[in-house]
Structure 1
Amino acid sequence: MEIGIDKIGFYTPHLYVDMNKLAYERNVEPEKFTIGIGQEKMAIAPLTQDPVTMAANAALEILDEEDKEKIDFVLFGTESGIDQSKSAAVYVHRLLGLNAQARAVEVKQACYGATAAIQMAKGHIALNPESRVLVLGSDIARYGLNTGGEATQGAGAIAMVVSKDPSIMVFEGPSAYLTDDVMDFWRPAYSGEAFVDGKLSNEQYIAFFSRAWDQYKAKTGLELADFDAFSFHLPYTKMGKKALKAVLDEGSEADSERLLANHQIGAIYNRNVGNIYTASLYLSLLSLLEQNEDLQDGSRIGLFSYGSGAVGELFAGRLKNGYREHLHVERHRELFATRKEVTVSEYEEIFQETLPTDGSRLELDIHQDPANVCLSGIEGHARQYVNKASGIREEKVAAHVER
């Protein structure tokens, strides 16, 4: 039985800051951001967008009524969880109007969460072939203003429907995976911003990829020549290139040219969004599929997932015949084209706007946010969500307008 990605959707908030302008304000050479780490724009989440709303917005564009009825498992990978108990998947399940006969859980291991969700989804489909699983990766990367990690922030979400007989990609086995207790990146429960040892994290990322690649070759007998492209988790776009270059001497010049060229194409969306943690690898995959018109049906793509702390996994997928017919290229082009640039000072103001930590009542103006699903406020220690498209919580929107 073939299992893989049947549908894939993407969402990023409507605000961004230009990295050249951020560099100027930070007294840094712009090339350090645009070339050194490979970022052009950084997506910014207003208070009306959080991991739940972004995931729901990503899923809305791909789900039809049959999906909503057949999805019986929602797996939400995130390291920006909004509750220590209730899973973000439960909120999304309601906002999307999914069948009540479903499981909904949150999966956490830094940026590896969505990949863990995919592996769980594969097992579920193998046991329940008629099921469909909604896999979500959604995060807001925050390191703080004027910090070493500031230029690698971002916000966005990916939604995937995993099923048998998929339309886009079939997962191949086996995977290569490993775990090691490494303090390269972490965020204690008391902190809204992450801590990172940048040098160690870079070293571990490359080491994990190299070790996983060796393990993968031993398991499968495949070599670089067998791959048309590799998609990487991209905390910043140059990171994936560094890891790829560490193994390119194993292949031919043609292998190097092909894989490096496809890596650049696969980084286009990430360059314009920034780091989105659990969704980053799959945003890179989506960029590759939508921006490379020469990628053929049947192409094999390697996927490397790395979650600091650390867990890494390397696996592969083959593109199905006619996969391009199931992508949403124009919709994503419009999503990027209609974003609004904010000044650095506006970005700093938005960054410092936070939700109350004591459960105080709050109402937010969702009319400035063009997204269908928004966070409208807090009431009774509970976040209040609105789905403008379906009318869920619509009465709250009307009440806000009347006041």
Structure 2
Amino acid sequence: MEIGIDQIGFFTPNKFVDMVDLAHARGEDPNKFLIGIGQDRMAVADQTQDAVSMGINATAEYLDQVDLDHLGLLIFATESGIDQSKSASLFVKEALGLPAKIRTFEIKEACFALTASLQVARDYVRAHPHHSAMIIGSDIARYGLSTPGEVTQGAGAISMLIKEDPAIIALEDGHTSYSENINDFWRPNNFQTALVDGHYSRDVYLDFFRHTFAPYLEEKGLEVKDFAGICYHLPYTKMGFKAHSIAIEGQDDAVKQRLSDNFQLSAKYSREVGNIYTASLYMSVLSLLEKGNLQPGDRVGFFSYGSGAMAEFFSGKIVEGYERRLRPAMHKRMLQERIRLGVGQYEETFTEAMQTLPENVEFTSDANRGTWYLAGQKGYVRQYRQK
């Protein structure tokens, strides 16, 4: 029985800041951001968009294609949780009218959580044939204004439906994992922004790639040339490029060219949106699917990394007719219709969104019609509405 990705939805807020504008405001050479980090624009979440609302929007994109009678599991992966106890998935379930009978919960392990959700969902479908599982990764990456990590912020969500006989990617058996208890990135309970040792985190990321990629090839009896593309967790695109350079080292020119071309295509959405933590790897997968020219049976590698730290490498094969399940025109329009903020507007929006919500408050949204948004709070309970 083949199990894998049958649907995939994508959402990012309707505002962004341009990296050239930000570089000038911070007294930096724009190429430091455009080339050194690999970022063109960065999504900005205002006070009406949080992890839940973005997750609702990403899932709503394909919900009319889901057989709800056979949906048995909903997992929400995030490190931008809105409650210390209650799962964000329950808000999504209510907003979208999902069946009461489904099992639902939240997973956290930095940026690895959506991969953890994928593996749990896959095991669920294997144990419950003819049932499907919905998984959502949704995050707002925040390090603070004028900080070293500012340019690696972002906001967005990816939602996927996992089922047997998938229409997009069939996951292959096997994976390689590696974990250590380290402090390259973390966020204590009383912090609204993350703490990160950027250089250390980069080194750990690359070290964990080495600990998972080569063992995966050995375990599966594969060579680098057997991949049409490799997708990476992209906290910023230059980070993934460094791992990619390790992957293609020593390969012939044709293999290097094919994998490097597909790496650049997989990074397109990341360059527009920025870091979305749990969903960053899967945004790169979607980017490759929608921007590339993959063929049925092509093998795509997945490198997932979550600080703290946990990494995993696995792969899947492209399913014939996968293009029919994608919505590139919708995603292109979503990115093109965003509002470009001046740096002053960006700073004001960022600061406003960081404020702790009072017991009762109501928000209005400037999002497009049909978009779900955080409408405020009543008695410390968040309220979500559709524009």
| TM-score for both structures, normalised by structure 2 | 0.98
The corresponding residue for 1:289 is 289
Query: CA–CA distance in 1 between the matches of 2:228 and 2:350?
Result: 39
The corresponding residue for 1:94 is 94
Query: CA–CA distance in 1 between the matches of 2:56 and 2:359?
Result: 25
Amino acid at match of 2:340: E
The 1:71/1:314 distance shift into structure 2, 3 A limit, reads same
Instruction: Note the 1:2-401 alignment, pairs <5 A.
Output: 2-64=2-64, 66-292=66-292, 294-354=293-353, 357=356, 359-367=358-366, 370=369, 372-388=371-387
Secondary structure in 2 matching 1:247: helix
1:229 Cα deviation after fit:
0.2
Contact conserved, 1:17 with 1:43, CA < 8 A, in 2?
yes
Most deviating of 155-164 and 325-334 = 325-334
Query: Could you list the per-position Cα deviations for residues 183-237 of structure 1 after superposition, in whole angstroms to 9, with x for gaps in the alignment?
Result: 0000011001000000110001011011101210221011101000000000001
Query: CA–CA distance in 1 between the matches of 2:321 and 2:236?
Result: 31
Contact conserved, 1:39 with 1:236, CA < 8 A, in 2?
yes
Contact conserved, 2:14 with 2:367, CA < 8 A, in 1?
no
Secondary structure in 2 matching 1:104: strand
Contact conserved, 2:46 with 2:353, CA < 8 A, in 1?
no
Secondary structure in 2 matching 1:33: helix
Query: CA–CA distance in 2 between the matches of 1:354 and 1:342?
Result: 15
1:347 Cα deviation after fit:
0.2
Query: CA–CA distance in 1 between the matches of 2:58 and 2:166?
Result: 19
1:69 Cα deviation after fit:
3.0
1:367 Cα deviation after fit:
4.7
Give the gaps of 5 or more residues in structure 2: none
**Dislocated runs of 4+, deviation >6 Å:** none
Contact conserved, 1:154 with 1:274, CA < 8 A, in 2?
yes
Contact conserved, 1:57 with 1:373, CA < 8 A, in 2?
yes
Most deviating of 314-323 and 63-72 = 63-72
Most deviating of 357-366 and 23-32 = 357-366
1:248 Cα deviation after fit:
1.6
Secondary structure in 1 matching 2:346: helix
Contact conserved, 2:45 with 2:353, CA < 8 A, in 1?
no
Amino acid at match of 1:230: I
1:368 Cα deviation after fit:
5.0
Contact conserved, 1:158 with 1:282, CA < 8 A, in 2?
yes
Give the fraction of aligned pairs with identical amino acids, expressed as a percent. Answer: 46
Amino acid at match of 1:331: M
1:264 Cα deviation after fit:
0.4
Query: CA–CA distance in 1 between the matches of 2:323 and 2:357?
Result: 47
1:297 Cα deviation after fit:
1.4
Query: CA–CA distance in 2 between the matches of 1:349 and 1:168?
Result: 40
Secondary structure in 1 matching 2:353: coil
The 1:126/1:340 distance shift into structure 2, 3 A limit, reads same
1:355 Cα deviation after fit:
6.2
Contact conserved, 1:74 with 1:104, CA < 8 A, in 2?
yes
The number of residues matched between the two structures is: 387
Give the gaps of 5 or more residues in structure 1: 389-403
Query: CA–CA distance in 2 between the matches of 1:134 and 1:338?
Result: 28
| TM-score for both structures, normalised by structure 1 | 0.94
Amino acid at match of 2:113: G
